[in-house]
Amino acid sequence: MIIAIFRNLFVLFILTITSVFAQQADNLIAIDLGVTNFSIERPYTISVAVRNSDERPDIRFPDIPGFTKKGISASVTSPEVDGKVTVSQVITQIYQAKAPGRYVLAPFTITVGDNTARSEGAVLTVRSSAGIASGSLSTTAVAPSPGSAFLELSASKRKMYAGEGVALTLSFFIADNYPQALNFTALDQQIQQIANRIRPVNAWEENRNITELKPVTVRIGARTFRQYLLYQAVFFPVAARSLSIPAVTLQLSRPGPANSAPVRVAFTSKPLTIDVQALPARVSNQQIPVGRFRLVERLNRRRVNAGQSAQYTFQVMGEGNIATLPAPVLVADSGNVDIFPPEERLTINRDGAQITGQKSFAYFIVPNQNGLVSLANRFQWVYFDPQSARYDTLRPRLTLRVGGVADPSDVAVSTDESVAGASGESGLAARSIYAGLKTQDSSEQPINQDELIRGLASVLIVLMLVGVIFIIVKK
């Protein structure tokens, strides 16, 4: 009997430990090295993927002899797993070779928080001129029929502000009456090389991650074309410097003459230049978000007693670089209210050339004396609207009543106002995500699963030790 109980406790303990390690494994980081054989005009990249990270980590990338660091790009993904949105960051360091040759990237480690990833390095071969291995393809390049098929690299705008988003889209168009059959060859490799070539430095990237190649019928003039969307990403440049996007080449193949190898057909896009303007001057040097935003706010109760807590959520919704939106600024005020650091939540929607979503900041507020607490005097969020070309401020409209007699109306309250700033303009219209939620109580604190598992493991260890001692004593 005692042995059976001990065995069951031991099995439960092993399962618990496995669960703990599984959760820790979800937080591991991964290193991805770029192609090791490339031409000198192409950059080399090292990417670090950090899972379950809401904030962009500070990563120290290694130096490579014979290369210079050209800049860092970043992207964020928010896949939904089992109904839970998990935010992951991908940080990419871009290197440029100084001269052709063979270079050694020594083994290195990357540390983010408590997690460390190791790379064994690589030998990098830098060629003096561009070229893709022909494989089974003929080395003869055939010029396509004018206007029948073409590669287009387009930008959603040609003039913008620093911090504003611009979508770069690479598409291949082929006319329905094109006289030859064309096939994509080594497409994934080519798109990766093209992305590295056109990716601006010092810009945050939101990649659409196209996984299916589906033609879409479009009309250009009087002709019908099939459009293949190959790559699309939205970039948010940090600096006020023009973006020069070079021409890129995509190679396809067509059947050759009878019993001969396929023939390569090359298509080249046109270069682009995007003018990036600086934001209007301000007294503060604080980094200002750029986009169109509105405020959705919520209090989990209208009234509390002095010393009791209320949860206040300041949610910014709209279009812009959602991943990097800062928390609202706490306005200096009298010390009759304690405000604790917020818990942040993030949702990003990638819809073609637009990045929309919401980022919420949940604060616990503890007033120290009776009266009315105006949240507009405690929080503000400044941003720049590129459409109106001026700064605006989101300010709360809710107030918290402290003390007094309890009232049936002292329940959760929320507002879904577009803007409460100087301009008074409306932002993006949308319903509050809090509509229809039941009243919550701040006394119901969320369960920390990690602490719960550690506590359960400790209890099981103690029970196992007690069982072992009991068996030894009985014998």
Mean pLDDT rounded to a whole number for the chain? 79
Is a pLDDT exceeding 70 seen at residue 431?
A: no
The single residue listed with the structure tokens 């810009």 is: 203
**125-129, 320-324, 407-411: least confidently modelled range:** 407-411
Amino acid at 246: P
Is a pLDDT exceeding 50 seen at residue 132?
A: no
* Global model pTM greater than 0.85: no
Q: Which two tokens stand for residue 475?
A: 């014998």
Torsion of CA 367, 369, 375, 376, to 10 degrees: -150
Q: Answer for the pair 145, 178: CB distance below 8 angstroms, yes or no.
A: yes
The single residue listed with the structure tokens 């670089």 is: 321
How far is residue 67's CA from residue 147's CA, in Å, rounded to a whole number? 40
CA quadruple 62, 67, 72, 77: dihedral sign: negative
Q: Which two tokens stand for residue 53?
A: 């990270």
Say which DSSP state 310 is in: E
The single residue listed with the structure tokens 């080249």 is: 268
How far is residue 409's CA from residue 407's CA, in Å, rounded to a whole number? 5
Cα dist from 321 to 12, 273, 387, whole Å? 45, 21, 15
Instruction: Identify any residues that bridge with 159 across adjacent strands, giving them in sequence order.
Output: 275
pLDDT in tens, 279-324: 998 877 778 999 999 999 999 988 899 989 999 999 999 999 998 9
pLDDT in tens, 107-122: 999 988 888 899 999 9
Instruction: Identify any residues that bridge with 233 across adjacent strands, giving them in sequence order.
Output: 168, 207
pLDDT in tens, 196-232: 999 988 888 888 878 778 888 888 888 889 999 999 9
Is a pLDDT exceeding 50 seen at residue 51?
A: yes
How far is residue 116's CA from residue 147's CA, in Å, rounded to a whole number? 52
Buried-exposed string 390-429: b where 16+ CB fall within 10 A, e elsewhere? ebbbbbbebebbbeeeeeeeeebbbebbbbbbeeeeebee
How far is residue 354's CA from residue 164's CA, in Å, rounded to a whole number? 11
How far is residue 166's CA from residue 179's CA, in Å, rounded to a whole number? 36
Degrees to nearest 5, angle at CA 111 with 51 and 101:
100
**Which residue did the predictor score with more confidence, 40 or 396?**
396
Cα dist from 102 to 34, 39, 44, 121, 136, whole Å? 15, 12, 13, 13, 26
Q: Answer for the pair 289, 295: CB distance below 8 angstroms, yes or no.
A: no
Q: Which two tokens stand for residue 8?
A: 């069951």
Provide the pLDDT for residue 40: 81
